Structure formats: structure tokens, C-alpha cells
Amino acid sequence: MSALFYLLGVVIFIGAILASIGLHELGHMIPAKKFGGKVTQYFIGFGPTVWSKQVGETEYGVKAIPLGGYVKIVGMLPPGAAQLADEVTVDADGNQVVRVRKSNTGLFTQLISDARAAEWETIKPEDSERLFYKMAWWKKVVVMAGGPTVNLLIAFFIFVGVFATYGNPGDAKPYSPVVSSVVDCVVPATEADRACRDSDPVAPAKAAGIQEGDKILSFNGTPFTTWEDLQEQIRANDDGSATIVVERDGRDLTLTTSTTVTARPTSQTDETLTQVGFLGVSPTFAGFVVGGPVYVVEQMGVMTKNTVSALGTLPLKVFDVGQAIVGLEERDPNGPVSIVGGSRFAGETVSEEAFPVKEKAVFLLMLIAGFNFFIGMFNFIPLLPLDGGHIAGALFEALRRAWARLRGRPDPGYVDVARMLPVAYCVAGVLLAMGIVLIVGDLVVPVRLPA
């Protein structure tokens, strides 16, 4: 049964990501068609075609490798200077045929020339006014920003639903000084999971008569509203006497005891043990911060800052994953993962019997939202072949034309993004290599959810 639920989690996650990819591509296709562009292909996945159907001038389909998708918009690359004078002939049926002249000078020049040739061999004379590169700069921005914007909107609406009902798992309220549990004895932190023994001293809170549900109002005369402040005072008390005022059943009670000194972790994230004062009570978890759309926008602003910072160190983190694959270092549990790693997280969460159904659903939703948020932000990087590279080209075109008008110069024309294809090929190669490293890492040295 556990394996079945694991598979269910994987299927849910993969299905959600494929749906996100499909919506991303619709974010490109719909405005492209709205602005009069010609879209000849809409595919989810890469590689061999599994299924396709021609509807009007667009072929819709699914390919074998579900690691992305694409839409083919005619005329992404403008003609080069040589192409403007290329030979135009008429075939046997009376149709015009543009024969693209190729250049053989230099590797990069040849790459650019070949790309233009492949692009223009599919363009028909009647497509002349529907070419993408001829669109107004702002239309190009809308078309190319449409895809990643859809991903960000998916993340936004998932966050709104989760944060408004369950709360933000990444933004917990301060712990309440209401006692959720009282330990019976003092057990060393290194043996925290074992039961009390006759030789173990009675916990100070137990000896004082503190009970579950008591609200601690003051400690040695100091009032408190948060658990963190109370905990700090308890730890600083060492083995000194303690006068504790608690509220129980609407009445204030004064209890006395002495804290004891024992080794405890310095924090939840740092397991280093330090000798501190110990009382033996646990606070009540106050829950997560709940918020609506404005709160979500604020949180996504923080996520944007953190994601931009993370993207700057992504190559180094992927290199660390490569180091972990060959056994040179441990895999960073907070490092990047691929869709394989995300699928593993989903499967482990759904198959974990200790997790309530609500927590499982929230985790899956947050995982899907997180992937969409990252995909959206990643695609805005201003480098080809990413969407941000085309957006940058369109914005540069607008600025160049505006500057020419201000100076009374002739229109400089369209920005030739084909000149950046060598950069695009290099970036694509790096992205492919990083993707392979992450996938292999998730298979060989996977990141697992904390037990």
C-alpha cells in the first residue's frame, strides 16, 4: 500500500508540472495569435512525437521527454543583410520560393546562417506581415513574458489558497507560553527518545506542579508574552530557584521550584549542545501566519529576492551536487533538485503514514507552487534561449529606436537576436549539463525529507 501511495504522489506531482508546462506555453501562444502572429506548433515535451493533431494552422501534440515544452512562432529571427537580396523564384504551382543564401565564413557565422536558413525555409510569402520579429516591441514583450508570468500566477493562486486557509508554513507565529506538555524527568539530550529511569531526576516543572494547559505569566517576577523570551530566562537561570506564576482555569497560581543545568541544543537549527538551565515544559505551537493576496504579494517579494540570490550561486551548487555524486562531499539537503527530486519528495510525503492528509495536501501544493515560482523566475533571466533573452532584445530595440528618434537619426530597425545565437547555444549547453547533473544526483544521492 505504501508503494501505491508513493506512486500516487509521483503521478500527482508530474501531472501538475506537465499541466504547468502546458499553461506556460499557452501564455506564449494565446497573445502571439491575438497579435496576428502565426503559431505552427504547440508541444508539451521534447524528442519523438507521441501524439499530435493539426487544428487549423497549428499542430498540437505531446512528445516523449516531459522536461519542457515549446510553441513555434513563425519569424522569430529577422533576415540578415544577405537574405534581403536572396533569390526569389516561382515553383511549378506558381508559389513564390525564397532560397536563402548561406555563408560559410567562421563557425559562429555559419551557425547563425544555418539558423536563419532553417527559419526562413518555413516562411511563405503570405506570412510577411505575421512574422514575430516585425511585431511592435511591446507585443514581443507580452508574448515572451506570457509564459513565465503564467507560472508566477499559478504559484500566486496556490499560495493565496494555502496561506488564507492553512497559513504559511514558512512563517510561523511565535510559540505561545501555554504549556503543551510537561516531561516527567531530566533525560540527556543525546538520549531524548528513551523512557525515564529510576535514576533520572524529576523534572523541575513536574516537581513544581505545572500542568498541561497552564499559561506561564511570569518567571522570577518577569512577565512574558512569548515563549522565546521565557526560554531565554529559563536557560539563563542555571540551577537557581524559580518562582513561576501560571494562569489555570481563570486563576493565577504561584509555583516554586529550582531549574537544573543540562546540555541542550542552542537552537532548532543548531544541534550544538550547551549547558543551560532546564525546566521541562514545551510550548504550544501557535500555528502559521494567515494572510490574503496582499500578504502573498509581500511573501513573493521576499521569495523573489531569495531566488535571485540563489540563481547567482546555482552553477556552484550544481557543481557541489556533482561532487556528491562521485563521493567527494555530502549532498546539501537545502541544495537544488530536479523534477526527479521533486517527484521523490511528493512520493515520500504521500506515502508517509505519520502525516495527516491535510499536511500532505499542503506540502504537495507548496511543492507545485515552489516549482512554478522558480520556473517563472528562471525564465526571466535575460539570456537566450530563455524567454528573458527575447524580452531583453525587445526592450533594447525599443530603447535603440527611441534614442535614434531623439537624435534625429534614421530608424535602426529590428534587433537581430540571431547574432546572440552563439550565446544561446552556450547557455543551452550549460542548462542541459546542469539538468543532467541534478537528475543523476537525485537518482544516486537523493535528498530525502527529514524523518
pLDDT in tens, 98-154: 555 544 556 667 777 777 777 787 788 888 889 999 999 999 999 999 999 999 999
Distance CA 395, CA 389 (A): 10
Q: Residue 90 class from Cβ within 10 Å (0-12 exposed, 13-18 middle, 19+ buried)?
A: exposed
Please say if the pLDDT value at position 269 is more than 70. Answer: no
Please say if the pLDDT value at position 156 is more than 70. Answer: yes
pTM over 0.85: no
Mean pLDDT across 341-347: 93
pLDDT of residue 99: 54
* 3-state SS class at 40: strand
pLDDT of residue 85: 45
Please identify every residue annotated as catalytic: 25
pLDDT of residue 199: 87
pLDDT in tens, 350-364: 998 878 899 999 999
pLDDT of residue 105: 55
> Kind and range of the H or E element at 215?
strand 215-219
Distance CA 387, CA 379 (A): 5
**pLDDT exceeding 90 applies to what percent of the chain?**
61
pLDDT of residue 326: 92
CA dihedral 385, 386, 387, 392 (to 10 degrees): -80
pLDDT in tens, 239-250: 899 999 999 999
Mean pLDDT across 167-188: 88
Distances from the Cα of 7 to the Cαs of 59, 347, 351, in angstroms? 32, 6, 8
pLDDT of residue 417: 85
Rounded (to 5) percent helix, strand, coil in the chain: 50, 20, 30
In whole numbers, what is the pLDDT of the chain averaged over residues?
Answer: 88
Dmax (CA) of the chain: 104
Distance CA 168, CA 290 (A): 6
Could you tell me the domains of the chain?
83-122 (no CATH), 148-173+292-451 (no CATH), 175-286 (2.30.42.10)
- Which of 185-194, 283-292, 301-310, 376-385 is the least confident region? 185-194
**Amino acid sitting at position 2:** S
